[in-house]
Amino acid sequence: MFGIQRLQKIREIILEQGYVDVQVLKEKMGVSDITIRRDLDKLEKEGLIIKTYGGAVLNNDFSSRSPTFEGNNLNDYDEEGELISRIAANMIEGEEIIFLSGGTISRYIARRIKDRKKLMVITNDIFVAAELNSNPNIKVTVTGGDLVTDAGIMVGPYVLRMLKEICVNKAFIEVKGVHLKFGYSMESYDEVEIIKRIIDISNEVIALAAYDKFGTTSFTKLGDLNLFKKIVSNKEVPEEYKRYCYENCIKLYTTYELQ
Amino acid sequence: MSDLLLEMKNIYKQFDGNYILKGASFSLAPGEVHAIVGENGAGKSSLMNILAGIYRMDSGEILMDGRPVAIENAKHAQKLGIGTIFQNFDLFYDMTIAENIFINQEPVINLGFIKVVNWRKVNKKAGEVLKYLNIRVDPKLPVNRLDFGQQKLIEIARTIVNKSRMIIMDEPTAAFTEKEVEFLFDMIKNLKLMGISVIYISHRLKEIKYIADRITVMRDGKTIATIRKDEIDSNKLVKMIIGDEIKDRYPKLNVKIGKDLFIVKNLCSATLLNNITFSLRQGEILGITGLKGAGKSTLCKALFGLEPVTSGNIYLNGKKIEIRSTEDAVKNGICYVTPNRMQEGLISQMSISDNIIVTNMNRIKKGLFISPALEKNESEKYIEMLGIKFSVPDCKVEQLSGGNQKKVILAKWLFTSSKILILNEPTGGIDMSSKIDVYNILNELVRSGAALIFVSSEIPELLGLCDRILVMHKGSIAKEIHCRDATQEKILYYASGGQ
């Protein structure tokens, strides 16, 4: 069982029962109790649980706490995405114009940089804008366009028209598929159109993809694997992709959580 | 029939799926001095190891006197007249000069079933060889009484006695004094007169221009060009060695650099180090490079308490500290990731887990005793943290791939919560995918406030990852360069003694 699946399973149990026990979880998942304890640490950070001796209980505040926007899916904690956002946020050095494309990782990046100063953020993701809503030191520009239902992402001709008149220092592009043969792909042709425009108007483009996107394809092709010169992902990226990046001089950043 | 002594054609060689030679070709005429130049990892030494019978090629052809030969092993290569002067010493220190020269070739008195070495004859003959080569030493002296350069010359004398027709010299002058270099060159001229060819591998372009008849440039496992002495142009040569494209494949993360964490002032050692002064800041990756014998490893060892220091001071967080032993270093949060995985860094017969916890047993003790459960938990955490991959549980570290062994070394130092990491060639000899892993682990270390000393002879790697680079030459720091101003040419210039 992968880390994410395990976390999801623990979440389900705790929401159903209201409590969990380390020993029971350990046997159920077949991992060591240190692993379970680390999972519980993460869930506590999310605010879902409060740790107790030998286990944890559901944090009652959690269900009543209202997120900035309904459906901002950051409430489903995505560890890989969160880790990636740390590295991406480190690449943003201030006094620059950045673009954050629609997606979970972009929202985590927004959360990480929300206390920064002298930054201009352009996005087609309403949740990214919402994260940065309260900081007067960051100028936020939303592209406009047609909202994709339930996704919080905007697409369509209005976006393209707006992107005609600006330039960007760094664009972060969350891709949905990375494949040795099929290259990068996105969920829809509408998104691909926007990303292609962004690439044209940006000084530097950086791809973001959790490790489980490697070796998979999504609906529409964005470009070949050498399209981006920088990729941020997790340490679990398959070896053949690491080798490809090394041989083709693509900078592959991967996350490590060291204490 | 060709009048070439040696031809190597289209040589390929791979290790673990990584091609280190991709169609290299090379030729040698009788009495010719033919230099091979190229960056570290270009394939120079690998090509020579194939010629010397140490590696076997995957495909290609080797001709001697126009006839194909299959070199089976080192002994066979010697029999064919291929002599080698290795980078490391290959002498028996307690034996005399004469014994070393005539090892395996002693003149014997045959008494039927036993053979007795005729020592008088050995000494006399050794004397003749030495005289012929203009080396003025007593053949009856033990080798350890000679200085560094003279020892190298004895190795050369031995290859001549072995009736070598060609001698491979792999960076012979790395630790030579100028006088010793001159002496070696006189000797090479002598060899030429005797019709013996020399294959000369070096980074020192000045020397090469002086001594070589032809130069072959290697890059990425291929032989790029072979040029004649009269066509040599230093600038062009450096460009050929480096190649046109800038190879920036290094995921450098710009971390905010803090205050001075670790300061070294006027550090000297008895053997090599001379007035080493530098500072290392929090969140910084400080590169150290230099040619072989410049003192990179000696400096690492001195900072980790493995090399006695004669004078100088070390400060940590503004406080003076003494590092007389590795215990002192570890106590102060300094650790050393060694270049040789098995010799110094790891205990090959032990499990991954034991290797990780060995540096800090206190962390897994419950009361007075080691808790196996705690050991398992802790080591599992580090194995997961660094993504160490193994095929069988509880396997010994010697069964791991090179890259994963490197990660075990890193894990064991993370386990001690070291704040200053000295990494000596951390990506040497590991596969590409593990290199990417090591770079990113280093990123995360500096992001969390550690400071790194990154020693490497791969200059592009340093340029790609470091904030500053110190270039060493003959035991001193010749130049400090900020990465934004550094180029490969500049570094090579200072590393080879430029002012």
Q: Are strands A202-208 and A230-234 parallel, antiparallel or unpaired?
A: parallel
Q: What is the CATH number of the domain that holds B465?
A: 3.40.50.300
Is residue B223 domain-shared with residue B275, that is, in the same domain? no
Do B423 and B332 lie in one domain? The reply is yes
Domain boundary among B242, B271, B302: B242
Cα–Cα distance measured from residue A22 to residue A133, given in angstroms and rounded to the nearest whole number: 39
Which chain B residues are closer than 8 Å to A248 by Cβ? 249
Out of B242, B269, B296, a domain closes at B242
Point out the least confidently predicted range of A29-33, A225-229, B212-216, B411-415: B411-415
- Asked if residue A236 has pLDDT above 80, the reply is yes
Q: Distance (Å, rounded) from C-alpha B445 to C-alpha B284?
A: 10
- In angstroms, the separation between the Cα of residue A94 and the nearest Cα of chain B is 12
CA distance A50 to chain B (A): 22
- From the number of C-beta atoms within 10 Å of its C-beta (0-12, 13-18, 19+), residue A64 rates as exposed
Q: Concatenated DSSP letters for A202-246?
A: EEEEEEE--GGGBT---SEEEE-TTS-SEEEEETT--HHHHHHHH
The answer to whether B203 and B492 have CB atoms below 8 angstroms apart is yes
* Model confidence, pTM: 0.69
Per-residue confidence band for A64, with pLDDT thresholds at 50, 70 and 90:
very low
A93 contacts in chain B (CB < 8 Å): 254
In a domain, B157, yes or no: yes
Higher pLDDT, A63 or B191: B191
Least confident of A185-189, B106-110, B154-158, B230-234: B106-110
The answer to whether B12 and B58 are in contact (CB under 8 A) is yes
Q: Residue B174 domain-assigned?
A: yes
Q: Is residue B92 part of a domain?
A: yes
Cβ of A251 within 8 Å of Cβ of B250? The answer is yes
Q: Is residue B1 assigned to a domain?
A: no
Ranges of beta strands (E only) in B358-425 are 365-366, 369-370, 420-424
Cβ burial, residue B48 (10 Å; 0-12/13-18/19+): buried
Alpha-carbon distance A161 to nearest alpha carbon in chain B (angstroms): 34
Same domain for B81 and B186, yes or no, is: yes
Full strand arrangement of the beta sheet holding A220-223: A177-179, A183-186, A220-223
Same domain, B425 and B387: yes
Same domain? For B439 and B477 the reply is: yes
Give mean pLDDT, residues B6-33: 89
Give B16 or B449, the one with higher predicted confidence.
B449
Nearest chain A residue (CA) to B464: A251
CA distance B76 to B50: 12
- Which DSSP helix (H) or strand (E) runs through B201? strand B197-201
Q: Which residues pair with B198 in a beta bridge?
A: B33, B167
Tens of pLDDT along B120-159? 777 888 888 788 777 778 888 887 777 777 777 788 888 8
**B220 and B275 share a domain?**
no
Query: What is the β-pairing status of strands A202-208 and A168-174?
Result: parallel
Residues on chain A touching B245 (C-beta within 8 angstroms) = 249
pLDDT tens figures, A65-113? 434 444 455 667 788 999 999 999 999 987 899 999 999 999 999 999 9
Count contacts between A and B (CB, < 8 Å): 85
- B161 and B295 in a single domain? The answer is no
> Quick one: which of A84, A72, A70, A114 has its CA closest to A175?
A84
Domain-located, residue B125: yes
B237 lies in some domain: yes
Is position B247 within any domain? no
- pLDDT score recorded for residue B154: 82
In this structure, the answer to whether residues B269 and B226 fall within a common structural domain is no
The domain tally of chain B equals: 2
Ordered domains of chain A (ranges, CATH): 3-64 (1.10.10.10), 73-255 (3.40.50.1360)
B15 and B110, same domain (yes or no)? yes
The Cα–Cα gap between A180 and A201 comes to 26
Are B187 and B81 in the same domain?
Answer: yes
pLDDT above 80: residue B277: yes
According to DSSP, the β-strands at A97-100 and A119-123 are parallel
Q: State both tokens at A76.
A: 């489903």
Which of B433, B498, B432, B404 has its CA nearest to residue B41?
B432
Same-domain check for residues B439 and B364: yes
- pLDDT score for B1: 40
Q: Tell me how far apart the alpha carbons of residues A144 and B12 are, in angstroms, rounded to a whole number.
A: 57
Indicate the residue of A243, A253, A257 with minimum beta-carbon distance to B251. Answer: A253
Taking any CB pair shorter than 8 Å as contact, residues of chain A touching chain B are 32-35, 38, 86-87, 90-91, 93, 230, 235-236, 239-240, 242-243, 245-259
* A257 contacts in chain B (CB < 8 Å): 385, 444
Q: Is residue B248 part of a domain?
A: no
Q: CB B432 to CB A246 under 8 A?
A: yes
Residues B303 and B222 in one domain: no
Residue B174 pLDDT exceeds 50: yes
From A160, A20, A250, A167, select the one nearest B248 (Cα to Cα): A250
B368 CB contacts (<8 Å, ≥6 apart)?
none
Boundaries of domain holding B96: 6-242
User: Of B183, B207, B242, which residue is a domain's last?
Assistant: B242
* Residue B45 neighbours by CB under 8 Å, 6+ apart: B87, B170, B201
Q: Å from A47 to nearest chain B CA?
A: 23
